[in-house]
Structure 1
Amino acid sequence: MGGRLRAPTGRYGGRSAAERQAERRRRFLDAALRLFGDTPGYRGSTVAALSQAAGLSTRQFYEEFRTLEDVLAALHLEVNGWAEQAVLDALATAEDLPLAERATALFRAYAQGVTCDPRRIRITFVEIIGVSPRLEEQRLARRARWVDLIRAEADAAVARGEAAPRDYRLAATAFIGSVNGLLHDWTAGWVDATLDEVVDELVRLLLGMLQPQGWCPRTP
């Protein structure tokens, strides 16, 4: 397929071409969340099956996307975007809280954002793996955003005297790996714990990283 087909222009049924295109794209992404995030999964899906699940034609698919991989890429970014926005909203309301309470708010928002629908976990941690170099680059880029967020929180805690001064690059990367692994295993039923217990454990890990044994917080 050399490129996407040209979508119709002009108003129809009181909606603009852009509005109709946005609705079609939304229907394809919603259908992809159902198929890729459950059964049969991304690798077991076809353009025809996705189009049928969306209630649209394959012609309409090619007006919006070139390949199924494009759909998976868009869905992966969207799922991560939902979780990131939930975290940013939580941090905005927890700005003046002590470190432990702020960290709890951060991880509760993230955990609830990615575990509220098991299909989001599968898109984020399972279906995206090993698809192509392009999607691997995208996955690592999104993970880097989470690492940067943790580093920024760590540096802010250092500035407030709540954390030990150090370079947190490696620690933040290792920590994000722990977060992703624990939430994936919890969602898969391999961890016998409540979500609150998972969040509490993540907070303990973060505080152990930021406040090592023998270090004393700086008095404000």
Structure 2
Amino acid sequence: MAGRITPAAGRYGGRSASERQAERRARFLRAGLDLFGAEPGYRATRIADVCRAAELSTRQFYEEFRTLEDLLAELHLHVNDVAERSVLDILPQVRHLEPYDRYTRLFRAYAAGATTDPRHIRIAFVEVIGVSPRLDRQRLNRRARWIDFLCAQARDAAERGHIPDRDYRVTAAAFIGAVNGLMHDWAVGWVDATLDQITDELLSMLLDRLHITPPPPGHRCAEMR
């Protein structure tokens, strides 16, 4: 492929070429996660910095990535996948629950997955913004997946008679925009709040827009059972 350096084939040190390549790629990804997700951030990082942190050469970098942006793009997908898996893993356990309990557990699972690592927060909500049209498209595509997920959950709740039957796409898009905006401002220090406060505020917004009321006094939320 033009512009790429082909790594050496064959076994070396008891490992195949594909195993060595996978290890190199993982080291570059760990280095990128540290540098982009903490200090100095994507815009102040150079390929030489990544190579130094990974203890690999620039030649090896170009065997894996064309540009530094490629590394950021892969990390952005990775941190989104972590958050998505947190939600999908719990989905089968909450399908039978009433809306308040179901949405509470789903959103708290998302919040836990999205914030499990402070570096993930920075990459997902700060570092990718405004980098390039390509990354803007990737970011918006991942937001669209969350919008589709919320719409699917709303349709299911409406079919059960738990919430009003209407088109929730604008509601879902507005909520996802609020999540991204508030998480960005919190990550860069513009909002002084704890993670629990951020999570509770966003969850309250979602439940309110879906017209899901809190359970009566004495109700024990399923997430605490």
In the other structure, the counterpart of 2:137 is 137
In the other structure, the counterpart of 1:100 is 100
Q: When the two structures are superposed, what TM-score results if normalisation uses the length of structure 2? A: 0.88
Task: Find the aligned partners of 2:120 and 2:137 in 1 and give their Cα distance.
Answer: 19
Mean Cα deviation higher: 136-145 or 8-17: 8-17
Q: When the two structures are superposed, what TM-score results if normalisation uses the length of structure 1? A: 0.90
Preserved contact between residue 104 and residue 200 of structure 1 (Cα < 8 Å): no
Taking only the aligned residue pairs, the percentage that are identical comes to: 62
Unaligned runs of 5+ in 1: 214-220
Unaligned runs of 5+ in 2: 214-225
State the aligned residue count.
213
In the other structure, the counterpart of 2:4 is 4
1:192 Cα deviation after fit? 4.6
Preserved contact between residue 35 and residue 42 of structure 2 (Cα < 8 Å): yes
Task: Find the aligned partners of 2:82 and 2:97 in 1 and give their Cα distance.
Answer: 23
The AA in structure 1 aligned to 2:42 is: Y
SS of 1:25's equivalent in the other structure is helix
In the other structure, the counterpart of 1:21 is 21
Structure 1 ranges of 4+ moved more than 6 A: none
In the other structure, the counterpart of 1:50 is 50
SS of 1:208's equivalent in the other structure is helix
SS of 1:10's equivalent in the other structure is coil
1:90 equivalenced with 2:90 (yes/no): yes
Mean Cα deviation higher: 16-25 or 178-187: 178-187
Task: Find the aligned partners of 1:207 and 1:128 in 2 and give their Cα distance.
Answer: 29
Task: Find the aligned partners of 1:193 and 1:131 in 2 and give their Cα distance.
Answer: 27
In the other structure, the counterpart of 1:217 is none
Task: Find the aligned partners of 2:183 and 2:106 in 1 and give their Cα distance.
Answer: 14
In the other structure, the counterpart of 2:216 is none
Preserved contact between residue 151 and residue 169 of structure 1 (Cα < 8 Å): yes
Task: Find the aligned partners of 1:188 and 1:137 in 2 and give their Cα distance.
Answer: 22
In the other structure, the counterpart of 2:64 is 64
Preserved contact between residue 86 and residue 110 of structure 1 (Cα < 8 Å): yes
CA deviation profile, 1:128-178 (whole Å, cap 9, x unmatched): 111111111111101111111111111111111111111111110001111
In the other structure, the counterpart of 1:169 is 169
Task: Find the aligned partners of 1:177 and 1:196 in 2 and give their Cα distance.
Answer: 19
In the other structure, the counterpart of 2:196 is 196
Task: Find the aligned partners of 2:91 and 2:33 in 1 and give their Cα distance.
Answer: 27
The AA in structure 1 aligned to 2:93 is: T
Preserved contact between residue 111 and residue 183 of structure 1 (Cα < 8 Å): no
In the other structure, the counterpart of 1:118 is 118
Task: Find the aligned partners of 1:192 and 1:41 in 2 and give their Cα distance.
Answer: 21
Q: CA RMSD in A?
A: 1.8
